[in-house]
Structure 1
Amino acid sequence: MDLTILIVDDSPFIVDGLAAILTRKGYTPISASGGDECIRILETVKPDLILLDIMMEPMDGWETLETIKKNPVTKEIPVLMFSAKKITPAEAQEHSMSIDDFVSKPVSPAQLMDSIQRIFSRRNDVNLETLVAQNKGLDPAVIEEYGALRKSIEVDRNLLVVLKSSSGMDVPGHEVSREDVEALRNIEDKIYRSERRLREINDLIGKAA
């Protein structure tokens, strides 16, 4: 398989456990004990995926993510966020475009592998579909938008499931704050708009010479 995954977590116990799981599944793990070390490692190593915890000190996962995405050399590396902390609708809205998936701790091996494989499969699919679109002479900007939409829709759908569960929206009688309800509706609206635009681009690809 020969794919490298950088694990970033300030708990040595969690890092060792995740590294063992990834090794058994044929991946090559690299460990970082926090955001600062992650950034230092990325100066010389470009992993195929970053598995990034949110709750770390002094640089938390969101700050680390921002630094990764600001760097032209590392911004295209897919990032799988994970945390025992409940992600808020506001955080989801702010960071959904920068992440490739989110899983909650404790992470089962099956859940972790499903997420990792989903990220790699999506990337492979988009690369193949991009080649088809390029061969048909589609506008490069539209091709780039297509890839971004494919990722955005999958990430937002997953975040929506996680957020609805953590907010208690599906629990009868549980009161959800107005801000959370509005944020969830905004995510649903974003998914709808993205799906509509993706269908338009698929029509363009189908009609291209």
Structure 2
Amino acid sequence: MDETILIVDDSPYIVDGLVALLKRKGFKPVASHGGDEALTILATITPDLVLLDIMMEPMDGWETLDRFKANPATRDIPVLMFSAKKITPEEAEQHCLNIEDFVSKPVNPAQLLEAIQRVFTRRSNVKIEALVAKDAGFDPATIEEYSALRKSIEVDQNLLCVLRRSTGMHLAGNAANSDDVAAVRKLETKIQADEKRLKEINEKFTKAV
């Protein structure tokens, strides 16, 4: 492993801990202690992944993410969000397209490393599958849709688990807020629709190759 990972968190303790962990696992971590510093660093390097905390000051993680994605030079860098803050249904809906995964604090090292590897593995597989589809004569729009669906389904499924926990819907007999329930059901419906569409494209790919 030699992937470069930019760590963005305003807690020096957490940054130092993650730097040490990732170094031990063969990654090349780069430390950043806030959104502004991260943006400055991204002007000089292009990491393979950004680990981005949500609860930061003065620029929080969501604003930092928006700044990443608004810049053509950095918008394609995968971002893995992590935070002790419970993500809201509104945040999940607004930002799910711009992140690759979400890990809750306190960060379990094994869980974090698994999420990082999941991001890299998925992106590698999608690239290979896209090349196969291109060689099979599929149009670029279909290939792009397939790649987007592969990512969004996994991200949405993870966010769904996070939302269920944050709203208490995973607890038997717990009465969750009606708005939260509606948001969870909406995300469930989206996942089902995306899975159906992905299956349709997969069947076309299978027939073609």
Please state which band the TM-score falls in when normalised by the shorter chain.
over 0.9
User: What is the alpha-carbon distance in structure 1 between the residues aligned to residue 198 and residue 180 of structure 2?
Assistant: 27
Residue 148 of structure 1 deviates from its aligned partner by 0.6
Question: TM-score normalised to the size of structure 1?
Answer: 0.98
What stretches of structure 1 move > 4 A for 4+ residues in a row? none
Question: Is the counterpart of residue 95 in structure 1 residue 95 in structure 2?
Answer: yes
Residue of structure 2 in register with 1:171 after alignment: 171
Where 1:96 maps in the other structure, the secondary structure is helix
What does the per-residue CA deviation read over 1:44-95, in whole Å, with 9 as the maximum and x for residues that have no partner? 1100000000000111000000111111111111100000100111111111
For 1:57, the equivalent position in structure 2 comes to 57
**Aligned position for 2:145:** 145
- Can you give the 5+ residue segments of structure 1 that lack an aligned partner in the other structure? none
Find the counterpart in structure 2 of residue 116 from structure 1. 116
Q: For the residues of structure 2 that align with 1:154 and 1:172, how far apart are their CA atoms?
A: 25
1:23, 1:47 → 2: CA distance?
15
1:16 is aligned to: 16
Mapped to 1, the partners of 2:195 and 2:49 lie a distance apart of 26
Match of 1:30 in 2: 30
How many angstroms does 1:176 deviate by? 1.1
What's the C-alpha RMSD, in Å, of the aligned pairs?
0.9
Whether 2:199 is the aligned partner of 1:208: answer no
Amino acid at match of 1:156: D
Give the TM-score normalised by structure 2: 0.98
Alignment match, 1:162 = 162
Structure 2 matches for 1:56-95, cutoff 5 A?
A: 56-95=56-95
The structural deviation recorded for 1:200 is 1.1
The farther-off stretch of 55-64 and 198-207 is 198-207
- What is the number of residues matched between the two proteins? 209
Residue number in structure 2 paired with 1:183: 183
Q: Does 1:48 align with 2:56?
A: no
Cross-structure match for 1:39: 39
Give ranges in structure 2 of 5+ residues lacking alignment: none
